A = this chain, B = another copy of it.
Amino acid sequence: MDDGSESGDAGAADSAPVAPAFEAKLHADGVTFGADDAALLRAIDDAGSLNAAADDLGRSYSRAHKRLSQLEAAFGSLLASQRGGTGGGGSTLTERARALLARFERLRSGLTGVAEVAETVLPGEVVDRTGEIATVETGAGRLRALAPPDAMSVFVTIRADTVTLQDADGAPPAAETSARNRFRGTVRTVERGESVATVTVDVGADPPLVALVTARSSDLLGLEPGMAVVASFKTTATRATPRA
């Protein structure tokens, strides 16, 4: 489209590595607390003054101050400032600011999990629906998932960290646990890291089910290719998104 002059890397348009990402936000009273704001608060905590913090971040003091006024209007008092005094004064974070930072960090951490963890996505058709929960017919059989109200042809996404594995023998009856989706399968691969192992399980579907377990669990269960296991995951943790 735009480059009539063919340059070297433009030809390899087919293999574009696309990576998921996100930006966490905390919304209150019309203003949103974002990553920049978190960085600003942390810089103030480190430097002890708004001035030095803005300097460290390469931002202007006036903008930083103006931004903090907006934030405090929405989130409440964030920093205890003192002008004059030894060293001319300074600013320290309030407890509320620390709580806000902690909450932001928790959100960011949780979102990071979703963005980075492996997942298996299965195409399927909704065959039944009660409220937000749909029963979906997939290559591996029927499973239940949270689904938007109008979708019929869907993708079901199963995050690897929500799949728990059990030995096929000694598996408890299905009625006694709240994990409603259960599939018998055989372990295909085990990729064991230092503390975490990624396991793929053949459950009859086109892409195998991928599960993320601790290395400890992998050892305790004796996971190895060919082993018969039961993979289970909660329906409230698996989501369907519209296809087509």
Contact = CB atoms under 8 A, between A and B. Distances in A.
A215 to B, nearest CB: 8
Interface stretch (A15-23, A52-60, A82-90): A15-23
A interface, over-half SS = mixed
A241 B103 CA distance: 10
A16 B29 contact: yes
A180 interface: yes
Given A26-B20, A111-B111, A235 B221 contact: no
A213 interface: yes
Contacts of A97: none
Contact of A242 (B105, B177, B237): B105
29 contacts: A1-B69, A1-B72, A1-B73, A12-B76, A12-B96, A14-B77, A16-B74, A18-B100, A18-B103, A19-B28, A22-B111, A106-B121, A106-B155, A106-B239, A107-B114, A107-B115, A109-B157, A110-B114, A110-B157, A110-B159, A113-B146, A161-B236, A164-B178, A165-B177, A165-B178, A166-B172, A178-B214, A178-B221, A196-B236
